[in-house]
Amino acid sequence: MKEIQRFTLADLTLPMKTLFSGYLLVIGLGLLFAGGQIMLTHGMADGKVGLSVDDIVYSYYGKRDEGSKLIAKLNGSMKDNAPPEVRLSMIKWAESGASQEEWDEKISMDVDQYCAPCHANIPGLANITDKAVMDEMLHVDQGQSPSTLTRVSHIHLFGISFIFFFVGWIFTYATGISQRNKAIIISVPFLFLMVDVLAWWLTKWNPNFAWFVIIGGFGYSMSAAIMIFTSLYQMWILPRRKAVPVDPPMQ
């Protein structure tokens, strides 16, 4: 028996359209800001603007041939955040053994002036004003640690899957799309999300998997955008279906 769709996005009451649209608009804006955040963090891992395969490799596999994390950052994404003479003095300090005496006399003051405004106040950034944290930065850059990847992975999977669930649920009321195609479109972001997160771990093991991180992120972003724009279009632009006339009751 053919399945009959009881109502569509165009049939929703004004309060329901407002509720669904508000959610979709906020989620869409959130995805844009998430993309911007990726560009400002992972996208600057190689010291250049824009997300590339090298950015993904440096973020998850690390710069294992370039010495410590501190030196890699000072030659990469943090290169323009301090005057050249300050940056070079930090690099020389790290390369010469990172003595406690020089830290106390000069390096700690440079860190407080040029690094602390971000690193001591923005969650997720290493607070390198703490000498113990700075000591960790003096180790060879091997990318994200397993503990960090575990924490970020479960937050990413739980949080974004909730977003896709509600976006997909709203999209189920769209018209002009077969049930099979709806099912495919709704499943795609979940599949790409798993590819994205699993590729983080694979890239940490082998940098050749970095492409899958880009493919996964691009795939779930595009599929979410399709569902969001389709739903908004059908709620506000697509004309309401004409009511089917009902025969008058027999006298």
**Per mean pLDDT, which range of 66-75, 76-85, 140-149, 238-247 is the poorest?**
238-247
Band (pLDDT 50/70/90 cuts) for residue 243 is very low
The whole-number pLDDT of residue 230 equals 96
8 A C-beta contact, residue 234 and residue 174: yes
Contacts of 191 (CB under 8 A, 6+ apart): 219
Contacts of 242 (CB under 8 A, 6+ apart): none
Residue 108: pLDDT above 50?
A: yes
The whole-number pLDDT of residue 138 equals 80
d(CA 164, CA 220): 9
Mean residue pLDDT of the chain comes to: 84
d(CA 128, CA 77): 15
pTM for the model:
0.67
